[in-house]
């Protein structure tokens, strides 16, 4: 059973505490939230834009708000959630800076997951083929990709330092296992647990 679940989902399920309040931004069809309910008896709320994904969430018994991520966050009181999840969505949102800020206000901790644009194959494709990289974490051609920004592990670490955000945990992921050696080069995906300094 566990083998069929994405590695990032498994890690997130390990990170969060029992009975945690979770807000998942861009929750899709609610697979991650369902896992968190099952594994950690989490109390969950999703935000999703797509009609069909919305219906699937409701079918699963999830509570989910239809709307975009930017406007979805603003009305929650401070620290309404133990964790706000921004998994595989950062590269698609317009105001990433604002969303991270708001997520840190609304949640005690924020889990951020994104594809590493500086993966070795991506670098080589750019360098030698002169083409936009396509891989398991970035599976789209330039003309169909939902991604409006590309960031790397280093970019994100630098951003957190500049904004005085504490990185509590970090995970570097290959397709189905963790990467320990030169993650800047070999990680396809990354997961960070961050929080505001002082919280």
Contact set with other proteins (CB under 8 A): 45, 51, 54-55, 57-59, 61-67, 75-77, 80
Identify which of residues 3 and 51 has a Cβ nearer to other proteins in the complex: 51
Alpha helices in 42-85 (DSSP H): 51-59, 69-73
Going 73 to 75 to 79 to 81, the CA torsion angle's sign is negative
Catalogue the long-range contacts made by 176-184 (C-beta closer than 8 Å, 24 or more residues apart).
176/7, 177/7, 178/7, 183/116, 183/153, 184/116, 184/118, 184/152, 184/153, 184/154
Q: Which two tokens stand for residue 18?
A: 């029992």
Identify which of residues 81 and 171 has a Cβ nearer to other proteins in the complex: 81
Identify which of residues 82 and 155 has a Cβ nearer to other proteins in the complex: 82
Identify which of residues 61 and 139 has a Cβ nearer to other proteins in the complex: 61
Q: Give min distance, CB of 34 to other proteins, in A.
A: 12
Q: Give min distance, CB of 65 to other proteins, in A.
A: 5
Q: Give min distance, CB of 2 to other proteins, in A.
A: 25
Q: Give min distance, CB of 154 to other proteins, in A.
A: 36
Q: Which of 95, 112, 124, 125 is nearest to 153 (CA)?
A: 112
């Amino acid at each position: 059973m566990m083998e069929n679940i994405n590695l990032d989902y498994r890690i997130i399920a390990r990170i969060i505490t029992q009975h945690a309040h979770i807000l998942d931004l861009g929750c899709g069809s609610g697979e991650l939230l369902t896992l968190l309910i099952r594994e950690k008896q989490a109390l969950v709320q999703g935000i999703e834009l797509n009609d069909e994904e919305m219906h699937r969430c409701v079918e699963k018994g999830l509570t989910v708000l239809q709307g975009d991520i930017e406007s979805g966050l603003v009305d929650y009181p401070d620290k309404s959630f133990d964790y706000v999840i921004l998994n595989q969505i950062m590269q698609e949102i317009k105001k990433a800076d604002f969303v991270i800020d708001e997520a840190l206000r609304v949640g005690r901790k924020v889990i951020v997951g994104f594809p590493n644009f500086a993966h070795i194959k991506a670098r080589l494709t750019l360098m030698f083929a002169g083409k936009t990289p396509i891989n398991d974490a970035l599976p789209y051609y330039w003309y169909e990709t939902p991604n409006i920004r590309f960031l790397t592990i280093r970019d994100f670490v630098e951003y957190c330092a500049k904004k005085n955000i504490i990185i509590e945990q970090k995970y570097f992921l290959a397709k189905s296992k963790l990467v320990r050696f030169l993650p800047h080069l070999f990680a396809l995906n990354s997961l960070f647990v961050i929080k505001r300094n002082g919280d």
